[in-house]
Structures are given as C-alpha cells and as structure tokens.
Amino acid sequence: QGQLVASGGGLVQPGESLKLSCAASGSATRFKPVGWYRQAPGKERELVATMSFGGDTNYADFVKGRFTVSRDKAGNMLFLQMSNLKPEDTAVYYCRAVLGSYEYWGQGTQVTVSS
C-alpha cells in the first residue's frame, strides 16, 4: 500500500518561511508529484504552484515572488519553499501526483500564519 505524504507545515508568524515536502512511498511511488494546492476553511481548494516533468513552473498570482516549487533529481519528491508568509496563506496544503491520466492526492499539511 502506498502513500503520498505532505509534511513541513506548522505555525509561523507573518514574514517567516516554511518549506513543505511531498514524498510518495510504496505503490504510490508510481505517481509523480506535480503540484501544490491549498484549501482554507470555508473555501475551495486552489492551485498554488505546479511543476511539469520538464521543469516548467506555474504559480498562482498570490504567491508569485514568495513561493518556489522544486523537485528532487529522481522526481519522486516535490518541495514548496514559502517565504514572507501572510495570514491569508493559512490553509491545509496538499500535494497532487499523477500517473498518466490518473491523479493521487495525499493528506495535507496545515500551515498557519498568525502573530
């Protein structure tokens, strides 16, 4: 049985940084992580950042210049470096992985930005 695990969340103050990691294990390693999404209470899940297999990146306007998505050389882990965090960045952050036309969502990691 496999899992897609997002980690690295926590409670930080405005202006601080966090780095999220997404890793697959077991049978889930067939799926390759390609993006980060987030969902705040009472809101829809929204795209944060994606990275194609070729390395092209795409960012939501509200994180441009503050967040950076990257991948390990093997392509099995996806990272999200978050800087200058704001209270409105508070949400559960999810990693999405794909295998062909199939997608796999891991459990999220909570990011809370509060003074």
DSSP secondary structure letters along 28-75:
GGGSEEEEEEEE-TTS--EEEEEE-TT--EEE-GGGTTTEEEEE-TTS
Contact call for residues 42 and 71 (beta carbons, < 8 A): no
pLDDT value at position 82? 98
Average pLDDT along the chain? 94
Instruction: Tell me the C-alpha to C-alpha distance, in Å, between residue 52 and each of 89, 97, 113.
Output: 23, 11, 28
pLDDT value at position 48? 98
Mapped onto helix, strand or coil, the DSSP state of residue 98 is strand
pLDDT value at position 24? 86
Contact call for residues 93 and 6 (beta carbons, < 8 A): yes
Contact call for residues 38 and 45 (beta carbons, < 8 A): yes
pLDDT value at position 21? 97
Residues in contact with 35: Cβ distance below 8 Å, sequence separation at least 6, in sequence order: 47, 48, 49, 50, 51, 69, 78, 95, 96
pLDDT, tens digit only, all 115 positions of the chain: 778 899 999 999 999 999 999 998 888 888 899 999 999 999 999 999 999 989 999 999 999 999 999 999 888 899 999 999 999 999 999 999 999 999 999 889 999 999 9
pLDDT value at position 41? 92
pLDDT value at position 26? 85
